[in-house]
Amino acid sequence: MTVTETGVKISYLPEMLEGQVAVLSSKYLSAHEGTEVLDALKASALFRKDQYSYILYPNKELPRFVDKNCIPAARAEASELVNVLVADGNKTVVLRDRNGLYHFNGMFNNVNSLHAALDALPANYADLVAKDRTLLATVFEEVFDHKSFTGRSGTFFGYEGLGSIYWHMVSKLLLAAFENTNAALNGDDPTLVGRMFDHYFEILAGIGAHKSPELYGAFPTDPYSHTPGGKGAQQPGMTGQVKEDLISRFGELGVHVSDGQLSFVPKILRKEEFLTASKTFNYITLDNQKASIALEEGTLAFTYCQVPVVYRLGESASITVVTEASTSTIPGTTLGIEWTRELFQRTGKVVRLEVSVVK
C-alpha cells in the first residue's frame, strides 16, 4: 500500500504461504471454499515437488549485480536536478556511468540516505532540490521496491532463501487443513470430505518425520527449521513447529476437551495405524519411572498427561478407567468431569484409559 496525494495505491505481492494459511485458519471460508484454496495451493508455484511440500514464496530469478540500481534513462532525465548534477560532475546523489546508465549513489541504504544527500547539496541547488525531491524519492522506490520486501525467502539464496521450505509454516498449514477437514465432516458431502482427507494426509506426508533420511536430507526425527531449494534439510532448529504437529496429531486421535471434560472421538484416524501384531508400548510414568504395556493386535497407544491411553477397535464407543484398585467402564466418548480432573491434576489415580473406538 502506498499513500499518494490523491488516495491509496495498491500493489500486489506474489502468493505467499502465510496468506493461504491465514485465510484457511480464519474460519471465513466455507468448507467448499477451503478445499478450493487447497486445490489451488497444490497447483501453484508454492508446491515443491521434490519434498512434496510448500515453500514460503514462489521461486524466481534474481537480477544480476550489474542489473541492480539502474535508473531508467527517461525517469532520470525527467529530473532537472539530475541533469544539472550530471552536467556539473556531482555524483553525491546520482551518477551516470561510462555506458550512459544512471545509478543512485551506491552508499545509500534507503530513501532517508537520498534525502540526507539532497539536504547536503550546496545552496545553489536548493530550488531544484525542492522541485524534484518527491520525484527522486518516487524513482528511488521504483528502482529498489523496498515496500515489497517480504524477508529473506523472496530475496536471498540458501537456508531461508528462495525456494526454501520453512517447516513451521508447513505445520501451520497442516493444522489449518485439519480444521477445514473437521468443518467438512460436519456437512453431508462425502466427496468434499474425501478431498479434504487427501489434502490433509498429503501435507502430513510431506513433513520430515514421515520421510526417509535420504529424501529429508537428515535424520527425520531431528529438528530442522528450513530446507533450502534443491537440497535436503540444512538448518537445525525447532522453530516452534512441534506445537502445531502435536495439536494436529491429537486432532487425528480425536482428543478433545470441552466444558472441563475429555472426550475421544477420532474421525480421521486411519485404521492402518492400529497394530497388526502384538507390540510393547514404552512410556514414562508420572513419577518419572520407565513402564511398558503389552499391546494386542488391533490396538494403538499414546499418553495424555503421562497417562497411557489404549485405543481398541470395537462395536460401540466406551472408555474404561483403570486405577490401582478398580476398573470402571463409561459408555460413550466422554470421560466426565471428575476423571478428567484427575488426569489434569496428575494425581496418579488413573493408571490407564482403554478406549473402544467404533470400527
For the chain, which residues make up each domain, given as ranges?
2-57+153-246, 65-133, 254-358
Q: What is the DSSP string of 112-134?
A: HHHHHHHHTS-GGGHHHHHHHHH
pLDDT value at position 359?
A: 83
Q: What is the mean pLDDT of the chain?
A: 92
What is the CA 232 to chain-centroid distance, rounded? Answer: 18
Query: What distance in Å separates the CA atoms of residue 19 and residue 9, rounded to the nearest whole number?
Result: 20
Q: How many CA atoms lie within 13 A of 312 on its CB side?
A: 16
* Residue 17 burial (10 A CB sphere; 0-12, 13-18, 19+): buried
239 pLDDT band, cuts 50/70/90, is low
Cell numbers at 79, concatenated? 529530473
Q: How many CA atoms lie within 13 A of 320 on its CB side?
A: 12
Cell numbers at 11, concatenated? 500493489
Q: Is 210 left (phi over 0), alpha (psi -120 to 50) or beta?
A: alpha
Q: What is the pLDDT of residues 199-211, one digit of tens each?
A: 999 999 998 788 8
CATH architecture under which domain 2-57+153-246 falls: Alpha/alpha barrel (1.50)
Place of cell 510393547: 280
102 pLDDT band, cuts 50/70/90, is very high
Cell numbers at 143, concatenated? 528502482
Number of neighbours of residue 340 by Cβ within 10 angstroms: 19
Q: Which of 4-8, 37-41, 158-162, 333-337 has the lowest mean pLDDT?
A: 158-162
